[in-house]
Amino acid sequence: MRRSRSFFLLLLLLALALAACAESVSAPDAIESYLKAKIAADEGKLASLSCAAWEAQAALEAAPFRSVKAQLDGLACRENGQDGNATLVTCEGTLVITYRGEAPRQQSLTGTTYRAVKEDDAWKMCGQQ
């Protein structure tokens, strides 16, 4: 009995140490992950990367990317202030979309400000301005 308690305590301490060493995700990292999941039309991943209030919108944002080939060129996001409990994030780069063999269309990511909030102890996409 005593031996199993010691073993359990050792496992618990090891798990806590590993959690402390885990790479923490920043607000810009969360937005980059969200944008990558969006162009992959990965609704499940988008839901997990969205705050509760944004989940329905995230599913809508994935829909147009199901029928196109898309990529992000030069994606780089950074914090750009606060708005209440939200961290504002802006990104640079270009969204390149190819639809059924047509010439690729490019859309700049500059000019959109994303809102990231800490929910369930993780940064989540929670809207844009």
Show the domain range for 42: 25-128
The rounded average pLDDT for each run of 10 residues, N- to C-terminus, in the chain (129 residues) is 47 39 77 97 96 94 93 97 96 95 94 96 95
Return the pLDDT at 21. 40
What are the two backbone dihedrals, phi and then psi, of residue 26, each rounded to the nearest 5 degrees? -90, 170
**How far is 106 from 101, CA to CA, in rounded Å?**
14
Q: What is the pLDDT of residue 101?
A: 84
CA triple 108-119-26, angle to 5 deg: 50
**Residue 71: per-residue pLDDT:** 97
What's the CATH number where 61 sits?
3.10.450.50
| pLDDT tens, position by position, 6-31 | 444 333 334 433 343 444 699 999 99
**CA–CA distances in Å: residue 50 to residues 33, 38, 103:** 10, 11, 32
In a domain, 119, yes or no: yes
Kindly state whether residue 19 falls inside one of the protein's structural domains.
no
> Which DSSP symbol is given to 120?
T
Within-domain flag for 32: yes
Q: Kindly state whether residue 63 falls inside one of the protein's structural domains.
A: yes
* Structural domain contains residue 122: yes
Structural domains of the chain, count: 1
**Which helix (H) or strand (E) segment is 31 a member of?**
helix 27-39
